[in-house]
Structure 1
Amino acid sequence: MVTEPAPLPTKALETTAENPWPVRLLSSKIADYVARMPSVWVEGQIVDLNAHNSSKTAWLKLRDTDVDMSLSVTIPKRALAGLPEVGEGAHVVVQAKPEYWVKRGTLQLAARTIRAVGIGDLLARIEQLKRVLAAEGLFDGERKQPLPFLPTRVGLICAPKAKARDDVLVNARDRWPQVAFEIREVAVQGPNCVGQVVQAIRDLDAHPEVDVIVVTRGGGAVEDLLPFSNEAMIRAAAAATTPIVSAIGHETDAPLLDLVADYRASTPTDAAKRVVPDVAHERAGLSTARQRLRAVLRHRIDTEQHRIRALRSRPVLVDPTRILEVHVHALSGARERSRRALTEQVASATAGVETLRTALRTLSPQATLDRGYAVLRTAEGEVVRSPGQAAVGDRLTGLLAQGRIGVTVSQSGAGDEGADAVVGFES
């Protein structure tokens, strides 16, 4: 018995691994869905234009200007008639209806009308983009990196065999013959420019020996320089950690890459002069600096030698003991003054002592005794000052000028006023 196959699901959500859609069914459903889509206006850049064929239809690819993505487009040749500005690399808008080719499984656009985007419109869009990027801070001076004084290797993004390429190489090597380059040859205009330049910037930024990146091309028409104002390229340059030098066109040209670059060179030659130093100028500068250093050092040495000679000529260094002479003289003077002061004090004290000695001699009881007087003392040692202190028979001691004698009182005159005592002497 033959089992009939299960009916195919009518919706994509109803498909399973056991009951899938065949390719033809999916293709037809996609074709039906695309066929219901209305016409749409699409903007892009023309690449791979094929209008020289025997049919009445021209083929081209419409490429997105910011990302590497494109769609095939068919358009009647009569729609291109009278539009000489529409060609390879032109920015256009087309009115087209999406079509899905079932047998090939591809999507394309069937265009009916095509219009060129004018330079004025493109410049207006660039101004709008400029304001947006400026508001994000991509053009701020604080984020710009200084260029290296002497790069190990210079990354160069340029067109193959272009004059701008030779200008950078020749002028840089004239200034510093040992400079090394890492060159990326890319399209510098046309539909492939943005993608190739962006990839070159990323490659060179990741290169471990590249210290600076130069993006250069010669002058050209405004539309030729439009890729260097592309948002994708500007953001790639802003994201690079390696300093970037922009040398696009002439000095009067001002693509947005100039604003985001770390240095804007007016010409490719100016870029070469900026990324490497002039060896002759640097050597001359070193020679001048060496001469100045030598002159400064010689002047310093001469000054110090003069100071040393001046110090050595000073008396204290000619005769080191001379510094002590002042102190010796001062010490001698102080010693002499001290000696005189002490002598005067001793003499004065001696005179005082002599005066006191003289006064003592004059007032001394010994002086009285020397004049013939005697001092009588009782046995108790009291001085006899009146007759009443001694009675008849008392023994007294007489103190003479020289020696002593013993005396006995033989008569007393204590009863009679003014009478003298009579003393008998004993030898």
Structure 2
Amino acid sequence: MTPSADAAPPRRPTTAGDTTAENPWPVRMLAAKMDAYIAKMPWTWVEGQVVQVSDRPGSSVVFVTLRDADTDMSLPVTLSRRVLARLRDVLPDGLGHGTRVVVHAKPEFFAKRGSLSLAADDVRPVGVGELLARLEHLKRLLGAEGLFDAARKRPLPFLPAVVGLVCGRASAAERDVVENARLRWPAVRFEVREVAVQGPNAVTEVVAALRELDADPAVEVVVLARGGGSVEDLLPFSNEALVRAVAAVRTPVVSAIGHEVDAPLLDLVADVRASTPTDAARLVVPDVAEELAGLAQLRSRARRGVQGRVEREVAGLAALRSRPVLARPQTLVDVRATEVDAARGRARTALAARLDRAGVDVVHLRSTVRALSPASTLARGYAVVQRRDGALVRAPGDAPAGTDLRVRLADGEIAATATS
């Protein structure tokens, strides 16, 4: 069944959430919706770096590309010549590549091209004082998170076989690190990543190189090196994204940015800070001459220690050999033999005395027993009278007439009968 020719076509959804595969928005409607939404956005202040300036003669506007300081994201900005003319007082050379600015702009969406841009009515360059104030604020913020704590810093390996180096292209910093490190330890190898070390691409390229070296298991330490420069030139090494990337890697990182007086935030988050690229070479590898001298010194100390120990032991043996007990070892046996003889004599004397006392005690006990024995009493003429059942007769009533009796004498016994 076909729909009636008079049936009304389906209505377009009024919101994006109501669209379906069967009832979608056409491109023109989506562009119109986006245009209406973006038109409601208020004016806002935006910060970024100038990466491109298009100033066409005869045009009433100047086109500038503003890039985010931490990423590759960028947006076109339209400036009137009147706005650009106000910059001549603070920027005599005008907007240049890498200039950090703050613009007061309103987003604009061009539906026909499907592009977004900013229309600016004010542009202000970010001065050094303001930059330093922002860096100080960022320093406090990252410090409160613990990114600069000494407890999270890792020690450098004593003798790394491979050193990662992130530096500028054909830079003096690269030569300083590589040449001085090889003078100290010729066998050291380098994995060098040459990147932009200033300008809008510096942060992205340095972070990418750092992560690439950190992923290489052969690299044991990474050096970030750059020569000196102005505050603006060294800004990438105080960038929050770069600082967090350094804090996140597993490989120890050495910061060798600028000169002694330069202090980017990278110095605070790195595991070790080198005052110059040359100082970084000194920190990452030992000096072979110093190590050989140290080994020679240790060998000499070990030799002297062993010789001293042997000499002390020899002297101790000589002292032992000179003692009488070792000069005539039987002396020990003689002394012990004398002690044994004396002990035997004392034991013999003690045993004899004990036996004599025991014999006397036996004689006394024998006399006492004999005196108390009933047999002795019987030997003096006494007798013991018992009935046949063994009961003793102690009184006449115990043996009535006719009772059979046993009379025990000293030499035997006799039978008797009680007659009265």
TM-score, length basis structure 2: 0.75
Which of 325, 333, 336 does residue 316 from structure 1 map onto? 325
State the shift of 1:78 in Å: 4.1
Correspondence list, 1:125-144, <5 A: 125-144=134-153
2:59 is matched with 55
Spell out the pairing of 1:126-165 with structure 2 (5 A cutoff): 126-165=135-174
1:331: Cα distance to partner?
Answer: 5.9
User: What is the identity, as a one-letter code, of the residue corresponding to 1:20?
Assistant: P
2:200 is paired with a residue whose SS is coil
The separation in 2 between residues aligned to 1:204 and 1:54, in whole angstroms, is 50
1:336 deviates by 9.3
Identical-residue share of aligned pairs (%): 58
Q: Deviations over 1:176-202 (max 9, x none)?
A: 111111111111111111111122222
**Cα drift, residue 334 of structure 1:** 7.8
SS of residue paired to 2:234: helix
Distance 1:5 1:333 in 2: 137
Deviations 1:306-355 (A, max 9, x none): 2122223333333321322334455677889999x99xx9xxxxxxxxxx
Q: SS of the counterpart of 1:18?
A: coil
Shift of residue 131 of structure 1? 1.0
1:388 alignment counterpart: none
Distance 2:208 2:180 in 1: 26
Is 2:26 aligned against 1:26?
A: no
The AA in structure 2 aligned to 1:185 is E
Could you tell me which residue of structure 1 aligns to residue 191 of structure 2?
A: 182
Q: Structure 1 CA distance, aligned partners of 2:94 and 2:214?
A: 37
Q: Tell me what 1:279 maps to.
A: 288
**CA distance in 2: counterparts of 1:53 and 1:305, whole angstroms:** 101
Q: What TM-score do you get using the length of structure 1 for normalisation? A: 0.74
Q: Which residue of 2 aligns with 1:66?
A: 70
Q: What secondary structure is seen at the aligned counterpart in 2 of 1:32?
A: helix
Choose which of 209, 216, 228 in structure 2 pairs with 1:219: 228
Question: Does residue 12 of the first structure (1) align with residue 36 of the second (2)?
Answer: no
Contact 2:107–2:117, Cα closer than 8 Å, also in 1: yes
1:81-96 matches, cutoff 5 A: 81=85, 82=88, 83=91, 84=93, 86-96=95-105
Query: 1:323-342 maps to which residues of 2 (within 5 A)?
Result: 323-328=332-337
Tell me, in whole angstroms, the C-alpha distance in 1 between the residues paired with 2:16 and 2:346. 132
Give runs of aligned pairs for residues 197-212 of structure 1, distance below 5 A.
Answer: 197-212=206-221
Code of the residue aligned with 2:59 in structure 1: it is S
> Is the CA contact 2:53–2:95 (under 8 Å) kept in the aligned structure 1?
no
- Structural mapping, 1:219-298, within 5 Å: 219-298=228-307
- In structure 2, do the counterparts of structure 1 residues 259 and 336 end up closer, same or farther at CA, with 3 Å as the change threshold? closer
Aligned partner letter, 2:42: P
**Residue number in structure 1 paired with 2:391:** none
185-194 vs 22-31, which moves further: 22-31
Distance 1:53 1:314, change over 3 A: farther
User: Please, which of 65, 78, 83 is the counterpart of residue 79 of structure 1?
Assistant: 83
Superposed counterparts of 1:272-421, under 5 Å? 272-328=281-337
Would you say the 8 A contact 1:157–1:183 is kept in 2?
yes
Between the aligned partners of 1:147 and 1:51, the Cα distance in structure 2 is: 51
Amino acid at match of 2:305: V
Q: Aligned with 2:187: secondary structure? A: coil
The equivalent residue for 2:50 is 46
Q: Tell me, in whole angstroms, the C-alpha distance in 2 between the residues paired with 1:72 and 1:129.
A: 27
- Partners of 2:137 and 2:343 lie apart in 1 by 99
CA distance in 1, matches of 2:325, 2:345: 26
C-alpha distance after superposition, 1:375-397 (max 9, x if no partner): xxxxxxxxxxxxxxxxxxxxxxx
> Which string of whole-angstrom CA distances, capped at 9 and with x for unpartnered residues, describes residues 78-119 of structure 1?
432313363211111112221212232111112222110111
Aligned twin of 2:369: none
Bigger radius of gyration, 1 or 2? 1
Q: 1:100 to 1:337 in 2, by over 3 A?
A: closer
Change (3 A) 1:246 1:288: same
1:92-103 matches, within 5 Å, as 92-103=101-112
* CA distance in structure 1 between the partners assigned to 2:94 and 2:220 by the alignment: 41
Q: Tell whether 2:182 aligns with 1:173.
A: yes
Instruction: Report deviation, 1:62.
Output: 1.3
Give the C-alpha shift of residue 4 in structure 1: 6.7
- The alpha carbon displacement at 1:271 in A equals 0.6
- Inter-CA distance 28–338: structure 2 relative to 1 (3 Å threshold): closer
Give the match's secondary structure for 1:177.
coil
Give secondary structure in 2 for the equivalent of 1:224.
coil
Matched residue, 1:410 = none
User: How many residues get paired?
Assistant: 343
- Structure 1 equivalent of residue 397 of structure 2: none
Deviates more, 1:289-298 or 1:238-247: 238-247
In structure 2, what is the Cα distance between the partners aligned to 1:36 and 1:125?
31
Matched residue, 1:379: none
Report the Cα offset of residue 64 of structure 1: 1.8
**Amino acid of the structure 1 residue aligned with 2:107:** P
Q: Deviations over 1:227-247 (max 9, x none)?
A: 111111111111122111111
* Residue pair 1:44, 1:92 contacting (<8 A) in 2 also: yes
Name the CA distance, whole Å, in 2 between partners of 1:296 and 1:101: 86
SS in 2 for 1:222: coil
